Each structure stands twice: as C-alpha cells, then as structure tokens.
Amino acid sequence: MTPITVVFDLDGTLVDTAPDLVNATNHVLAGIGLPAVPEAVLRPVISIGSRRMIEEGLSYHGRTLEASRVDEMWRALLAYYADNIAVDSRPYPGVDAVLDDLQRQDIIIAVCTNKLEGLSRQLLSALGMARRFSAICGRDTFQVCKPHPDHLIGAITAAGGVARHAVMVGDSDTDVSTAKAAGIPIIGVGFGYSEIPMRDLEPDALIGHYREFPAALRRLQER
C-alpha cells in the first residue's frame, strides 16, 4: 500500500515566525533611521517574503529606495535573522501532537517552503523539529519555487512519496495555488499570514487549530 505524504508549508503553518521576522525587518529599518513598524502591518506579507516585508516597512513610513539599496537591506536582514532565528518563533499549538500522530501512522511528512532551505533547516533544528521530516525543501532547493507545482511535487518525491497520495497544508494563497496546480488537495490553516482570508481561497479543508487536523485529513482520505 502506498503511504500517504503530508507536506507542510513552514512560516505561518508549522511555526509562528512573525516575531523574529518582524524584529529582523525593524532592525534593518532602524539602520536607515526609521522607527519600528507594528507587527500587524508586516504580518500579512510574511508569506510573500522578507524582501517584501522591507518594502512594506518603507511604504509604511512613506519612503522609497532604489532596488539595489533594498537588496542590501535584504541581505542584512537575512544575516541578522540567521543569528536570531528562533528567539521568539514557536510551533503553533497542537503541531507536535499532530506530527507525533502522523509518524505513528507511518505517514511521510515533509516541508515545502519559500523560505531559503538553509534557514528552514536552521529554524527547524533550533526548535528540535528537523528530524521529523523526510525532506525539507526551500525556495532554492529546486530551479522553481511555489507557486510552481514542481516545487511541491519535488518535495513529495524527495521525501519518498507519490504525488497522487499526497496532501498539502498551508496558510496562504501561494500554497493553495501551488496545490491546485499540482492536483493535490490542501488543508488550509486559518491562523497564518495570508492577506486573503483562507476561507475565501477555498481550500479542500479548513482548520482553525491543529486539534481539527486529524478529522480534516480523514475527510480528504475518504474522498
């Protein structure tokens, strides 16, 4: 019998990384003399990427910079973030119990994220979670990244799974678009960083807490 593979997005799905990402963004904004931007302003664009967080912070203060200057700030952000990657980031409530349950069932679990692979591994290792996953695939693991379906399919293959027996879990429109393009059902989480409410993105199943995950997965398996 072919095992099921469950592929998780990382930021906003497995781990609430907003505090450390916001701190890193405000660190580089402070470097050009700008006050801190509230987390509520930056949180909705986390799923788009850290460079976009800088752009959002600049916009909040009515500032624009040349792309080359933003690139410099982005590199500085990544360096600072790497040194402070798990200060306040924590797995969402119920994540550990869900991963334990999946492993007991011999379900393959993997990560497919648009975070750089090295930072993804560093974060998950710092939180004691990296060993759980058969594959951790970031935006630079393959030649494509989400929303390209081959990023998700590549993660499934790298984990030893089969796409037709896979489910994705994500928090953003990028995740939903990726899963639909790959023909893979998706469980959307309503507590992540999406600019658009997850319900409006019409995932195959929707959860508001990981305690609801087992029932959602069973419903998809029964289809």
pLDDT in tens, the chain (223 residues): 789 999 999 999 999 999 999 999 999 999 999 999 999 999 989 988 899 999 999 999 999 999 999 999 999 999 999 999 999 999 999 999 999 999 999 999 999 999 999 999 999 999 999 999 999 999 999 999 999 999 999 999 999 999 999 999 999 999 999 999 999 999 999 999 988 999 999 999 999 999 999 999 999 988 7
Residue pointed to by tokens 């710092």: 126
How many C-beta atoms surround the C-beta of residue 222 within 10 A? 6
Task: Dig out the tokens for 64 from the structure.
Answer: 């624009």
Strand order across the beta sheet in which 5-8 lies? 135-137, 108-112, 5-8, 166-170, 186-189, 205-207
Spatial CA neighbour of 75 closest among 144, 11, 28, 26: 28
pLDDT score of 131: 96
Enumerate the active-site residues. Answer: 9
For residues 143 and 182, what is the distance between their CA atoms, to the nearest angstrom? Answer: 16
pLDDT score of 169: 98
For residues 114 and 71, what is the distance between their CA atoms, to the nearest angstrom? Answer: 17
Q: Let me know how long the chain is.
A: 223
Task: Dig out the tokens for 57 from the structure.
Answer: 């912070």
For residues 33 and 36, what is the distance between their CA atoms, to the nearest angstrom? Answer: 10
Task: Dig out the tokens for 116 from the structure.
Answer: 């750089």
CA atoms within 13 A on the CB side of 21: 30
Spatial CA neighbour of 12 closest among 200, 188, 201: 188
pLDDT score of 55: 97
